[in-house]
Amino acid sequence: MSSEDSVLIVGGGPAGLRAAVDLAEMGFNVVLVERRAELGGAPIRWKYHTLAPDMRPTEEVMSPLIDACKSNQRIKVYTSSVASSFSGSPGEFSVEVKGADGSSSTHRVGAIIVATGFEHFDARVDPRYAYGRAPDVIGINELEGMLRSGKIVRHDGSTPRRIGFVFCVGSRDRSTNPWCCTVCCGVSIKQAIELRRLLPDSQIYMIYMDIRTWGLWEKLYWDSMEKYGINYIRGRVGEVYYTGEKLLVKGEDTLVRGPIEVLFDMLVLAVGMEPGEGTRQAARVFGLNLNEYGFLKPRQPNIHFDSGVGGVFLAGACVAPMSIEEALEEGSAAAMQAAKVLIRSSKQRVPI
Amino acid sequence: MVDGPETHSAKRDDESKEKGKFIVERDYIEPTRIVEPSSLTAEGVDISGRWGTIVLPRTINEFDTSIYERVKRLPGGSHIANCWQCGNCSAICPVAHEHPEFNPRYLIHIVKMGYTSEIERLKDSVYLCSGCGLCSSVCPRGVDPQHVMIALSLAFHAKGVL
Ligand SMILES: Cc1cc2nc3c(=O)[nH]c(=O)nc-3n(C[C@H](O)[C@H](O)[C@H](O)COP(=O)(O)OP(=O)(O)OC[C@H]3O[C@@H](n4cnc5c(N)ncnc54)[C@H](O)[C@@H]3O)c2cc1C
Ligand code: SF4
Ligand code: SF4
Ligand code: SF4
């Protein structure tokens, strides 16, 4: 395999997978490096049941990409591996890939795509929600697994009746993360609709500051009220106590300017997205800039793929919080940029 | 001088300042929440007056959905679930601009949330609606607040609130 027809992709989530498949289908070779044991990124790791906005089963979106990466001869997959060192210039990079089992291999590639994604905010960091201390306080990531199993149960096996969603947990807050994760409103509302379908007797209250179901995702918000009777409380939660039986949620309904203290059976936290250690590791290896929040910093904010390091491109939620539809498109966009580098460098060598 | 609402409330305040006088930081508590029973005995002990003083909580601690359920079943209220509290209705309502107690958006919210003490406080205001229908012409979600006001009054009656 010569460097001028190969691309190394770091991260096997939606963005990295899309880039790998596009490049392979264009006739280039791909080395796909994934830190975890399985491909698929967050949707597979957290067992997302369906995807917002259309509630399509996650497999419909992810399986064709994962299967293509596994079966396409042009894509060489290294799972449980990371890129450990890098040298060279665009068109002729040399990258060392190290496996968790101690194995190591060196690859000559023409371009690199970094698509290391995000981690969920750990709600234990903000003690007011009692996450990790009280039972039946879960994250939207954990609820996806429950929805997949079709069993929505409290710690004692009983069915919850009154369920609250708390928005912006670990987001839009100077003491945790000041950015908006952009998808957790839509994802929470999608989950609330799925809960109402599974548990028609449930009462669901969404405790929010602003509803940010941008673009066409707005339909989820409308449907949640018009077809599913989901209730919205504008305000924030101040404290959560476990009474030994239920969760006492203290907060304010800002539309009545008054405190509320209501018992819930289950509380779902819309935990945000933040850059993870995987992104920092890739930044160290490839010499990439991080912005003030720890996301990878593109050379200019409105062109995500341009890392500022020649021949190294960025895609997906390692640059900013985003949806799967956006991460997939960024994967394609980065693949296009990588292809440009490969085509240019091969022309230099073999004049036509 | 006309005996307007201000002089009334001043008088009421004078009387109620006696209630719970002994409470530390008494000024934090609205007089209406302080209850001093005029005659009350517990286990043979007379705890009338200050001994039996209780302070009612100001916190909303239950969502009572019974009125909401009834409103949803009435013809005028069938779209109340769509309301997202934008306030278009109150912004255009000629009555809300004049009368401090009347606010169609707010009435819809307290009914949807089942805030019974607020409903109790504001129940009569529902009759201030002139039926002009301006609100329904601007509501972006097709809630039809004009007819919701009628449904609310019917539901308040049926629940014995009014
Ligand atoms: C609870 C929740 C539900 C969501 N549901 C939806 C939804 O319904 N619809 C929707 O559109 N979006 C949804 N999203 C957003 C969606 O998860 C992201 O848009 C998407 O996962 C981003 O894809 P990605 O490839 O950029 O990153 P990821 O999915 O995070 O994938 C990155 C991959 O890179 C790997 N990696 C990281 N660092 C390294 C490294 N140094 N070396 C090698 N590999 C590395 C990671 O292990 C991971 O596999 C949801 C998000 C949350 C928080
Ligand atoms: S998407 Fe919604 S829940 Fe998430 S941070 Fe933004 S406003 Fe908050
Ligand atoms: S119909 Fe009633 S609530 Fe609506 S604008 Fe007229 S007075 Fe206001
Ligand atoms: S205009 Fe319609 S949606 Fe907006 S607050 Fe009034 S009733 Fe609700």
**pLDDT confidence of B16, banded at 50, 70, 90?**
low
Give CA–CA dist A204/B112, Å, rounded.
12
Are B60 and A256 a contacting pair at CB < 8 A? yes
- Looking at residue B123, its pLDDT comes to 92
Give CA–CA dist A98/A104, Å, rounded.
4
Place of tokens 């996450």: A131
Q: How far is the CA of B60 from the centre of ligand 4 (A)?
A: 23
- Looking at residue B2, its pLDDT comes to 41
Domain A3-118+275-349 has CATH 3.30.70.600: no
- Looking at residue B4, its pLDDT comes to 43
Tens digits of per-residue pLDDT, A113-165? 999 999 999 999 999 999 999 999 999 999 999 999 999 999 999 999 999 99
Residues on chain A touching B85 (C-beta within 8 angstroms): 232, 234, 255
Would an 8 Å CB–CB cutoff place A108 in contact with chain B? Answer: no
Sequence letter at residue A185: C
- Looking at residue B6, its pLDDT comes to 46
Nearest CA in chain A to B119: A256
For domain A121-273, give the CATH number.
3.50.50.60
Rg (C-alpha) for chain A, rounded Å, is: 22
What 3-state class would DSSP assign to A290? strand
Are B110 and A229 a contacting pair at CB < 8 A? no
Residues on chain A touching B61 (C-beta within 8 angstroms): 260-262
Give CA–CA dist A109/A338, Å, rounded.
10
Domain extents in chain A:
3-118+275-349, 121-273
Cα(first)–Cα(last) distance of chain A, in Å? 21
**pLDDT confidence of B9, banded at 50, 70, 90?**
very low
Q: Do A3-118+275-349 and A121-273 fold alike per CATH?
A: yes
Nearest CA in chain A to B113: A231
Global pTM value: 0.91
Residues on chain B touching A259 (C-beta within 8 angstroms): 58-60
Domain extents in chain B:
5-55, 66-159
- Looking at residue B157, its pLDDT comes to 81
For domain B66-159, give the CATH number.
1.10.1060.10
**pLDDT confidence of B35, banded at 50, 70, 90?**
confident
- Looking at residue B7, its pLDDT comes to 43
Give residues with Cβ within 8 angstroms of A222, minimum separation 6.
Answer: B82, B141
